[in-house]
Structure 1
């Protein structure tokens, strides 16, 4: 085909793509539906013009369109990797992991259920071999929920629900294509009744193998991209090659799922990229991928739609009946998942509660699209597939896709409106009236000052002021007549706004380089969890979310295990340094939120709510400071190094701003400006390097800071430091089990623990000890002890503790005090204990 013709057709397609999006917005239809209609019209029109003699002048164009080299491998190897890769880059992966159960259910499990529902329903009515019927089921099981996602966003659906749908859109293509490859192999091999046992065993191997290939290739790519990080275009070019290399290596060399390999590569880059690539380059990279994905998504849809007239060739009445069977079976499978399995997961607390109206919207929004058509095209192209199977697969997949696009897609907004999902709830409606009244009041004050400043004529001001006053009076009346908002709800709404402001501040500090790119995504994830926790639990939910953002989490527990048991310290050092930096960044952000309460929340919700929010914010700040103090005690001097690094980075930002202002004012030329900016870039690269954290315990300093060892001389302290064993624990870790044998005494160097005693819980903090009572009474442990904060413990075995106790009056007094606090006669503890010897330079624990 002539290059001029191909270029002209491509230019025309891009013109269609550019006009289709505003048309879809104007007609209030999903973008994919408009593209499908345009593609069908173009394909059908080309076939009509070629077959009639009335339009011979258009025959060259019609022939060029009909002869476009559209093959299934174009969709699978060119467009699909781009779409999947871009979705992974735009995901908040850490938030997705919170909801991995419902995402996997809606994606993988739903695809498998739909495959077998459709396959067996078709098998009983069509007479086709079971392998061919299951192949049809795999082809039509993948949904394209992009339409319902965009509509959910437009109606302000819960973010968690939208995130689950986005996760489904990412995973179901991969699961469906893996099943397609599995059953396509059976059909081409002529196996009519496939072994389901073999399919069950091979399916996980395809998935896991693909993920490992993608992760490995992506890690190498990130390493190369970090080497060329100064060259932004080179970095972006490498990222463009990544999904294609992953797909080809997985499919052609290793023999596993290429789609899963692309997902693994994209998720790996999503996790590693922000911390290893410059922030501006990372932003540019994602912008480029957004554009590539928009083009790929539109082209794959419009090109697939061009094939619909060809795939429907030979349609008859019996085929319409089979299309109806496929449609009903696919909908029934989705009903089983949404209304059967999903509520069970909710009761088991493995999934968020999804209200019935949203489940109906998800059901009706399960549109099929270009991936289904591409897979059907792959079947029709294979010479190893029987002609009867080719014919039916093409017709059934295309007919079902048309039903979802033309029936479900065009009525989806109507369904959502009938379900009432496009309306504000009573609480939000009442709040909106008050927000409008407050905003208009502020606008009136601002406009009065503007009129005075510019000396506008009184008649002009009076005329506009009258119209504005009428609107303001209407807003105030509506606010007074709206449903009264309870104080409890006002507090919840205020906390949601406060958490949203915290998220905005994180983004602002990231742009100012006050928060490093390495941790910005993680801190934003904490802010998102805080917003959702507040929505679900009000004030208590806010406090739970705030404590979770300070806690170490499961990764820290695993790192502590590696450090305490296996002496592998690198993961703990990295996570502890990250935690230090996150705590300092959170303290910086919390200090700015009080002004937001006074300037914004107070005007809408009143003084009482604002004062309560100030108290809650003060409580958060106090808990954060306590955690920071514990970290400082564990690793003295490291917080100061991070604060110095923050000051250096802030100074560089101010310096860069001054040079930019001078350049804009014409005080310096472009050559001098570039020289100065390059110098700042070199100094910034040095300032960005985080100081290394030394995990070696400073036991001598920790002993000196404990009042229990205040009467020991320097030689005794040094010997005691050699005898003590340091142990780090995370929040919630169990330190002592009830009824266990007493072998050691624990001294709290930092943090806090809680003892579950028969008379009630008792908390101990820095400078206190536990475990000594059971040793002195020679009895099993009577209490269970858990850490209630990240804690550093100094552990001394029984023999050394007894020798130290004989020599230290201060330690004996500490034992007496702890026994008295627990209602135990101290004299029982010291029966047979020798009197303490006079303190001397040589006295020390053995």
Structure 2
């Protein structure tokens, strides 16, 4: 036990050093960790530490899922709910079936095993995508769709892995039973997530300080995951819903210092687990296996992207035909290329019973596909966003700083006015401090007077006006002033106008 713990701590220490170095040189840290893990095993510097799938699925996954959901913008997810659900439910099924059909033809796998491969490869890893989004600005709605899909996709995909593995083990497939089990797991996960989210909100409201708030959130996450699994629902979907509900409630109910502490804890926890996971991923991959099975891995990649292409273009085509909601074609290309695999696919395939037919070949293919997508797709993904014209034009850093200064200074002035009105600030101090803020405002506005700055201001104005209109319409529906259907239609129209806006800088 001691040796295992020491080995794990050593891996975490090495991973942390690699992640810090990768961030300094601007390389996606997950790709650097995978490559370093492979290198360390090849040169026999570190022992080949096994990746326990049970630990990942029970202990790591709830933390990673909750951390992602906690930071998600609930309003943005709701605004992009149709594309998200299209990808996370029918999209996953279509991708699975498309991948399975191609895999049956090119990999000579029986259809049940190909179905299982499709389910394993339908699990997404968006760490690479979100890292690219942080370095290259993309439209907010595109980021919301991809983030939302990743949050809900894993729950659907993991349920499908379990169902497909049963088909492989039994050799029989009952479509009605399978779809019934899938629906029950997903609906049950969502309902239980809402229930636990309400409990979590009540708990957070009653915590006396940030330490108890963090402790309550830890208990909430693992209680949700374990109890939901006991009830045969999807723990991933339940934890996602809890994260979104609790995140929104915390920002509304708790003081900023407590929210920052809560978010800081979960962000640090998620980063540490990702560091450990991606280094372990690299340590599981064997170089000779990649060479020996190169043809199978290449064919599996063809099957993977064929299935994903059918899912993305097909679902959004149907969405446009049925609802009129448009997802730009360039965004769809991004979602196809952003189909990157990660630790969760590897954990899922390792969790298959050791005596399951075709298990060894599935492990080899999933490991190989994970490695190739991380290195070949994730590494140049930020540059690909620019090539596809999805990334916003490179707004000058000075203009970005000017925007931040202007927003902060205006907010500071408004707060000073409130303090003066409440009698908590003298007129003299109010005038002095407001003048200091005004100097910042003048400097920032001066920076935004350039032609490029004018374009930035126009873009900000357009976005702010459309966002305000949408918020007003949705609020009116919540208050019963207009019908929900009317509000939804009007909000969709505003979303379409938002999509048509040029990127910042006029491109």
TM interval, shorter chain, is: 0.7 to 0.9
Moved more, 264-273 or 413-422: 413-422
Give distance in 1, aligned partners of 2:314 and 2:213.
47
Shift of 1:171: 1.5
Paired residue for 1:97, among 78, 85, 94? 78
1:385 to 2:356 alignment? yes
- Unaligned 5+ residue runs, structure 1? 50-61, 440-496, 515-533, 558-729, 735-846
How far 1:359 moved relative to its partner? 3.4
Q: Which residue is 1:334 aligned to? A: 308
Alignment counterpart, residue 359 of structure 1, candidates 312, 332, 345: 332
Q: Following TM superposition, by how much is the alpha carbon of 1:238 offset from its aligned partner in structure 2, in angstroms?
A: 1.5
Quote the offset at 1:160 in angstroms. 1.5
User: Does the 8 Å contact 2:191/2:238 carry over to 1?
Assistant: yes
* Aligned-partner Cα distance in 2 for 1:417–1:126: 34
Between the aligned partners of 2:29 and 2:340, the Cα distance in structure 1 is: 12
In the alignment, is the contact (CA less than 8 A) between 2:290 and 2:368 conserved in 1?
no
C-alpha spacing 1:28/1:195, structure 2 compared with 1 (3 Å): same
Residue 301 (structure 2) pairs with residue 301 (structure 1): no
Offset of 1:550 from its aligned partner? 4.4
| Distance in 1 (alpha carbons) for counterparts of 2:267 and 2:484 | 43
Once the 2 structures are TM-superposed, how far is the Cα of residue 331 of structure 1 from its aligned partner? 1.0
Provide the C-alpha distance between the structure 2 equivalents of 1:169 and 1:220, rounded to a whole number of angstroms: 25
Does the Cα contact within 8 Å between 1:300 and 1:370 map onto a contact in 2? yes
- In 1, Cα distance between equivalents of 2:282 and 2:81: 33
Q: Is the 8 A contact 2:97 2:115 kept in 1?
A: yes
Query: Kindly tell me: are residues 101 and 15 of structure 1, through their superposed partners in 2, closer, same or farther at Cα, counting changes over 3 Å?
Result: same
What residue number does 1:219 align with? 198
Q: Is the 8 A contact 1:111 1:175 kept in 2?
A: yes
Q: 1:506 to 1:213 in 2, by over 3 A?
A: farther
1:373 maps to 2:346:
yes
- 1:433-471: CA deviation from partner (whole Å, max 9, x where unpaired): 9969xx8xxxxxxxxxxxxxxxxxxxxxxxxxxxxxxxx
> CA 1:106–1:502 in 2, change beyond 3 Å: closer, same or farther?
farther
2:10 pairs, out of 9, 12, 24, with: 12
Query: Is the 8 Å Cα contact of residues 130 and 194 (structure 1) preserved in structure 2?
Result: no
Q: Is the 8 A contact 2:99 2:308 kept in 1?
A: no
Matches for 1:178-193 after TM superposition, within 5 Å: 178-188=159-169, 190-191=170-171, 193=172
Shift of 1:535: 7.3
Q: 5 Å matches for 1:645-664?
A: none
Of residues 112, 125, 129 in structure 2, which corresponds to 1:131? 112
Aligned pairs for 1:387-402 within 5 A:
389-402=358-371
Q: How much does 1:296 deviate?
A: 1.2
1:286 aligns with 2:263: yes
Assess if the C-alpha contact under 8 Å between 2:92 and 2:311 holds in 1: no
| TM superposition shift of 1:177 | 0.7
Whether 2:35 is the aligned partner of 1:37: answer yes
Find out whether 1:501 has 2:482 as its counterpart: no
- Residue of 105, 111, 124 corresponding to 2:92: 111
CA radius of gyration, larger in = 1
Counterparts of 1:184-583 in structure 2 under 5 Å?
Answer: 184-188=165-169, 190-191=170-171, 193-227=172-206, 229-251=207-229, 253-309=230-286, 319-343=293-317, 345-346=319-320, 351-356=325-330, 358-379=331-352, 382-386=353-357, 389-420=358-389, 424=393, 501=407, 505=411, 545-550=467-472, 552-557=475-480
3-state SS of 1:553 partner: helix
Change (3 A) 1:548 1:263: closer
Q: Quick one: structure 1 residues 349 and 384, their matched pair in 2 at CA, closer, same or farther if it must change by over 3 Å? A: same
How far did 1:140 drift?
A: 0.8
CA 1:315 to 1:17, structure 2 compared with 1: closer, same or farther past 3 Å?
closer
Q: Secondary structure at the match of 1:144?
A: coil
Measure, in 2, the Cα distance between the counterparts of 1:215 and 1:733.
21
CA contact (8 A) 1:17 1:298 kept: yes
SS in 2 for 1:306: helix
1:549 deviates by 4.2
Q: Which moved more, 1:22-31 or 1:236-245?
A: 22-31
Structure-1 separation of matches of 2:465 and 2:43: 62
CA RMSD of aligned residues (A): 3.7
1:84, 1:170 within 8 Å by CA — same for their partners in 2?
A: yes
Residues 584-595 of structure 1 correspond to what in structure 2 (within 5 A)? none
Q: CA deviation at 1:10?
A: 3.5
Deviation at 1:208, TM superposition (A): 0.9
Which residue is equivalent to 2:442? none
Bigger CA drift: 229-238 or 394-403?
Answer: 229-238
Would you say how many aligned residue pairs link Structure 1 and Structure 2? 447
Distance 1:20 1:359, change over 3 A: farther
Instruction: Return closer, same or farther for 1:346/1:278 CA change in 2, 3 Å cut-off.
Output: same
Larger relative contact order (CA 8 Å, sep ≥ 6): 2
Q: Does 1:88 align with 2:88?
A: no
CA distance in 2, matches of 1:341, 1:102: 8
Residues in 1 aligned to 2:458 and 2:157: alpha-carbon distance in whole angstroms? 35
Q: Deviations over 1:582-633 (max 9, x none)?
A: xxxxxxxxxxxxxxxxxxxxxxxxxxxxxxxxxxxxxxxxxxxxxxxxxxxx
Measure, in 1, the Cα distance between the counterparts of 2:177 and 2:244: 29
Provide the rounded CA distance (Å) in 2 between the counterparts of 1:154 and 1:215: 33
Residue 142 of structure 1 and its aligned partner are, at CA, apart by: 1.5
Measure how far apart 1:230 and its partner are.
Answer: 1.4
* Alpha-carbon offset, residue 200 of structure 1: 1.7
Q: 2-side partners of 1:158 and 1:150: how far apart? A: 15
CA deviation vs aligned residue, 1:275-307 (integer Å, no higher than 9, x gap): 444442222111111111111111122223222
User: What displacement does 1:14 show?
Assistant: 3.0
Instruction: Give the drift of 1:153.
Output: 3.1
How far apart in 2 are the matches of 1:423 and 1:266? 29
Q: Which has the higher strand share?
A: 1
